[in-house]
Amino acid sequence: MGTRTPAAALLGALGLSLVAPAAFAGPVRMTNSTTAQYRLHTFTDDARRGEEVPYGLLLDRLNLVAAADGFSSAVRVDGMLFVDPPALAEADGEFRDDARVERFTAGYGLELGGGDLKLTVGDFYRQLGRGILLSLRKEDEIGVDIAVRGGQAQWLGETVDVAGFVGRTNPVNLDNVSEKFVADPGDIVAGGEVKVRDVGPMQVGLHTVYLDVQTLPTGRDGWMLGAGGSVEVPDLADIGSLYLEADWQRSSRVIDVLGKLSEDVTDGLAVYGVAELYFDPLGLVVEGILLDCLDAEQDGLHRVRCIGLDGSENSALQSPFVYNQPPTLERIDQEVLNSRDVLGGRARIDYAAFDGDATLYANGMLRLTDRESEGEVTQLHVYGGVDLYYAEGSSRLSASGGWRDERLTGIDTERQLKTMAHGEGDVLHAFDGWSLALSTLNEYRTLFTIDGEKTNLRGSTLVGVEFGHDAGWMRSFADQLALTFELGYDDDDSKAGSRSVYYAGIVDWTLDSRLRVRALAGTQRGGLKCVGGVCRIYPEFAGARLDLITTLDL
């Protein structure tokens, strides 16, 4: 992008925000988030490991949404400006000033043939079934938001839905986690879905997708064609529900074998099911998944993805884009070993008391990845806990803990890789006009390597107070105010120069429904954080950050 282009795009967006009300002949809702940061970048490469360099960052996200007479329209403009950013090694990505129209969508809906026809042009999200073949969902809190930029037609009827779509994958270019620039891959995706409801007690769905990857990390191209179907019984004889899905795919990659290019075609199969049963006060959930390569001639470590296809390379993460998101059977905040070749199951039983205000639960999972190869890993995880709502629902308490064991169980090999004990707690206790919040999560890991055992304790604890505007003294200046202290710890000393203890203070101040201010100062532990069922490794944070979030009707 030329040097003038970001400024022009931002100017255009600001201009649009002024003319939009007239263009749509109705009010436009504007939501704007401005984030200013002064922070330290910690180098992790061998040459400068542990060295910290300060830099500044201003990030703005402007969203405009309007609708009238069956038309709807939305525009999102992102801008990012760095002040004295550190120069990174090429392999570490790039801090880059940028501003662009990140999302635009125009939609039109009308009643047709007893249903609703909806046409969409621009950016949209798409998931098929439970995301085994394709899952492009809105996930921008964690920076891996990928949409399709193209066109989609949907006909949504009382008992039948039909949809078709085509476009290019369009990730958010300003990754708000790594703060690095993400180049557009331009991978082509096309597909369709048919769903029929009221087939007796069932819903039956069929879907298909074609994905054409422009540049695989190997420098070669690839494609994937997949199809699948699902059967769902939402109400199984008044005692539960059932969901079953099966998918097949054929994928192709051009690979370099001893200097000769050859096409590597892989067939994959996926089967997923979940059943829920309720016999008050007991409840049972049983879930199972198989992601399998049908081709028996896979390489020794099954490094080929059998279901889903690695997309072009994400320039910020130096790893491929992932366009599918199968169920994992794992806890939401659990690192998932891989979703390439998987066989696993889990069961959860819970007991409800006090009219559902208290729930005791226990969960067990067994999962194998890269089966029948040298790299096969068996993962066993058991955990349990309690969720409690009290004081007429105004207070809550939850506590959980568990144990995990991972073993290499590949061909001719068996040895322990990792054990982990974990404990979590979350309390929000309401007093008159204010409440006390405590949240903690801790992991004690033991890693087994050929050099011996290594242990690691890591976690975060947050303590805070929240005031509602019925606290008389703050009626005049705030709707809500929260003050939080965060303590993080990680005694993993493999990263020379890194911190082992982290402190941060956080203020979250809601003036009214139009303005929210959030400020953070200190240091925050990096590591795996999960939002919305998707996890990423966050870098450590050291510095100060201010977020201003405004919502206005223009």
Near another protein by CB under 8 A: residue from 43, 55, 71, 489: 71
Question: Residue 246, exposed/middle/buried by CB under 10 A (0-12, 13-18, 19+)?
Answer: middle
Of 62-70, 176-184, 405-413, 487-495, which segment contacts another protein by CB under 8 A? 62-70
State the minimum distance, in angstroms, from the CB of residue 426 to another protein. Answer: 6
* Residue 75 to residues 9, 64, 68, 147, Cα–Cα distance (Å): 12, 5, 15, 13
The rounded distance, in Å, linking the Cα atoms of 481 and 468 is 7
Instruction: Answer yes or no whether residue 37 interacts with another protein by CB under 8 A.
Output: no
Instruction: Answer yes or no whether residue 109 interacts with another protein by CB under 8 A.
Output: yes
Q: Of residues 165-194, which lie at the interface with another protein (CB under 8 A)? A: none
Near another protein by CB under 8 A: residue from 16, 53, 65, 194: 65
Which of these, 272, 280, 281, 289, lies nearest to 231 by C-alpha position? 272
Q: Whose Cβ is closer to another protein: residue 255's or residue 531's?
A: 531
* Residue 274 one-letter amino acid: V
Instruction: Answer yes or no whether residue 6 interacts with another protein by CB under 8 A.
Output: yes
DSSP-based three-state secondary structure for 151:
strand
Nearest 5 degrees, angle CA 472-CA 476-CA 482?
A: 70
Instruction: Tell me how crowded residue 356 is: count the other CB atoms within 10 A of its CB.
Output: 11
Instruction: Answer yes or no whether residue 352 interacts with another protein by CB under 8 A.
Output: yes
Q: Of residues 309-328, which lie at the interface with another protein (CB under 8 A)? A: 325-328
110 and 135 Cβ atoms separated by less than 8 Å: no
State the minimum distance, in angstroms, from the CB of residue 185 to another protein. Answer: 19
Near another protein by CB under 8 A: residue from 16, 27, 372, 538: 27
Residues in binding contact with another protein, number by CB under 8 A? 119
Any residues with CB less than 8 A from the CB of 465 and at least 6 apart, and which? 434, 435, 436, 437, 482, 483
Q: Whose Cβ is closer to another protein: residue 84's or residue 297's?
A: 84
Of 219-227, 281-289, 306-314, 403-411, which segment contacts another protein by CB under 8 A? 281-289
Near another protein by CB under 8 A: residue from 95, 389, 502, 541: 389
The rounded distance, in Å, linking the Cα atoms of 463 and 204 is 47
Near another protein by CB under 8 A: residue from 209, 224, 534, 542: 534
DSSP-based three-state secondary structure for 54:
strand
Q: Of residues 133-172, which lie at the interface with another protein (CB under 8 A)? A: 135-141, 156-158, 161
Near another protein by CB under 8 A: residue from 37, 39, 41, 74: 74
The position carrying tokens 């899952």 is 135
Of 219-227, 392-400, 483-491, 536-544, which segment contacts another protein by CB under 8 A? 392-400
Task: Give the residues across from 52 on adjacent strands.
Answer: 42
535 and 333 Cβ atoms separated by less than 8 Å: yes
Instruction: Tell me how crowded residue 20 is: count the other CB atoms within 10 A of its CB.
Output: 21
Instruction: Answer yes or no whether residue 61 interacts with another protein by CB under 8 A.
Output: yes
Instruction: Answer yes or no whether residue 234 interacts with another protein by CB under 8 A.
Output: yes
Of 56-64, 177-185, 309-317, 371-379, which segment contacts another protein by CB under 8 A? 56-64
Instruction: Answer yes or no whether residue 548 interacts with another protein by CB under 8 A.
Output: yes
State the minimum distance, in angstroms, from the CB of residue 191 to another protein. Answer: 12
State the minimum distance, in angstroms, from the CB of residue 38 to another protein. Answer: 14
- Assign 3-class secondary structure to 411-449: CCCCEEEEEEEEEEEEEEEECCCEEEEEEEEEEEEEEEE
The rounded distance, in Å, linking the Cα atoms of 512 and 182 is 34
Instruction: Tell me how crowded residue 181 is: count the other CB atoms within 10 A of its CB.
Output: 18
DSSP single-letter state for residue 92: G
The rounded distance, in Å, linking the Cα atoms of 354 and 534 is 32
Q: Which helix (H) or strand (E) holds 481?
A: strand 480-490
State the minimum distance, in angstroms, from the CB of residue 380 to another protein. Answer: 19
253, two tokens: 């990659």
Q: Of residues 444-463, which lie at the interface with another protein (CB under 8 A)? A: none
Near another protein by CB under 8 A: residue from 426, 454, 495, 498: 426
DSSP-based three-state secondary structure for 126:
strand
Near another protein by CB under 8 A: residue from 394, 413, 416, 455: 394
Q: Of residues 467-526, which lie at the interface with another protein (CB under 8 A)? A: 468-470, 480, 482, 510-516
Q: Whose Cβ is closer to another protein: residue 408's or residue 511's?
A: 511
Instruction: Answer yes or no whether residue 130 interacts with another protein by CB under 8 A.
Output: yes
Instruction: Answer yes or no whether residue 390 interacts with another protein by CB under 8 A.
Output: no
488 and 525 Cβ atoms separated by less than 8 Å: yes
- When computed from its CA atoms, the radius of gyration of the chain, rounded to whole angstroms, is 25
Q: Whose Cβ is closer to another protein: residue 394's or residue 416's?
A: 394
534 and 545 Cβ atoms separated by less than 8 Å: no
Instruction: Answer yes or no whether residue 114 interacts with another protein by CB under 8 A.
Output: no
State the minimum distance, in angstroms, from the CB of residue 168 to another protein. Answer: 17
Near another protein by CB under 8 A: residue from 46, 355, 412, 451: 355
Q: Whose Cβ is closer to another protein: residue 43's or residue 104's?
A: 104
